Structure 1
Amino acid sequence: MAEISDEQLQQRLLSRTERCWQLARSHHPGVPWPRIWFDLRGRSAGQAHYRRGGLRFNMTLYRDQPEAFLTEVVPHEMAHWVVHHSIPYRVRPHGREWQSVMREVFRLPPRVTHAFDTSQATPTPHGYRCDCEQLHRFTVQRHALVRRGRRYRCRHCHGVLRYQGRIDEPA
């Protein structure tokens, strides 16, 4: 199978977003077109960002499973966008309004979480151990918090986690 470039993947996502937006407008005519960014990192596949006026997507997760991403994540985020622009009051992020848009507009089950492999999207190169000797893997950001004085405890033995050094093998 031929390798698909990031530019081609982004174009496919924009086309899927356009189809979801058109479908949403058939039910909610006042919904504006969202700006689109591919700058989301970490474990989140997508995010509706109201202050920035658009939708953010995680290219690392999209590259790994493009078909599932287009089928699940784009409508999920568009449903948030639709609810934000059609309901005049604050609602829960995955509340009944969002669920209704997922079911009635996009004809999809209202799933809150994705099942994508996030190990490549969120590297955890810093190892910590507790009193029960369990290995705890920390991201660069969490390790920086420890260096600034934050303390973490094991959920099992409640021992304070101690830094063991960098871990270069995958999680």
Structure 2
Amino acid sequence: MIDSADKALLSQRLGELYTEANAYFKRHFPLPELTYRRSGRHAGTAFLQQNRINLNPVLLQHNRDAFIGDVLPHEVSHLLVFQLFGRVKPHGKEWQSVMREVFKCAPETRHDFDLSPLKLRTADYECACGPIALSIRRHNAVLRGQKQYICRQCRQQLKPAG
């Protein structure tokens, strides 16, 4: 799914990020393994104890520049923070500092990629803002009475549509 040219480009960018981090912190960090597996709607995931970054191949194909400029530094920052500070808040001050100071990136915690290429199954919900698609996993948690979800904009509880 991901061609060898894209893998080489991402590997090169990974090396550049680690060169920057090594120079900034004046120490050597081991390069992580890069894997390419679908992971829901996540663009990337850092596996801290495995020193591994997984990238979503479908989203990568549709957002290559954003993966190189934003997603990869985001996930590398998680690995570096873990190696420097141990377990801390995932997007806490340490992570934000690495994003800003080392990689000169905005510390964004969510992507806004078009998710339609993922062909995810969803359930229709609504609030004052209008319709919202909830993942099947979240929908099932609502059906079991385990969870309730609130709209990020209007702060109303989401209700099943129809």
AA partner of residue 12 (structure 2)? S
Q: Please, which runs of 5 or more residues in structure 2 have no aligned partner?
A: 151-155
TM-score by length of 2: 0.75
CA distance change for structure 1 residues 128 and 82 in 2, over 3 Å: closer, same or farther?
Answer: closer
Alpha-carbon contact 2:21-2:102 (below 8 Å) kept = yes
**Structure-1 residue corresponding to 2:59:** 61
Rg (Cα) greater in structure: 1
Answering whether residue 105 of structure 2 is matched by residue 102 of structure 1, we say no
Query: Equivalents in 1 of 2:55, 2:158: separation in Å?
Result: 36
Q: What's the Cα RMSD here?
A: 3.1
1:117 alignment partner, one of 110, 114, 117: 114
Q: Please, which runs of 5 or more residues in structure 1 have no aligned partner?
A: 165-171
Q: Aligned to 1:120, what secondary structure does the other structure show? A: helix
Query: Equivalents in 1 of 2:149, 2:89: separation in Å?
Result: 31
Query: Equivalents in 2 of 1:114, 1:153: separation in Å?
Result: 23
AA partner of residue 10 (structure 2)? L
Runs of 4+, deviation exceeding 4 Å = 126-130, 134-143, 151-159
TM-score by length of 1: 0.72
Query: Equivalents in 2 of 1:56, 1:68: separation in Å?
Result: 15
Paired residues, number: 152
CA distance change for structure 1 residues 35 and 137 in 2, over 3 Å: closer, same or farther?
Answer: same
Q: Which has the higher helix share?
A: 2
Q: Aligned to 2:104, what secondary structure does the other structure show? A: coil
Alpha-carbon contact 2:123-2:135 (below 8 Å) kept = no
Q: How much has 1:116 moved relative to structure 2?
A: 1.0
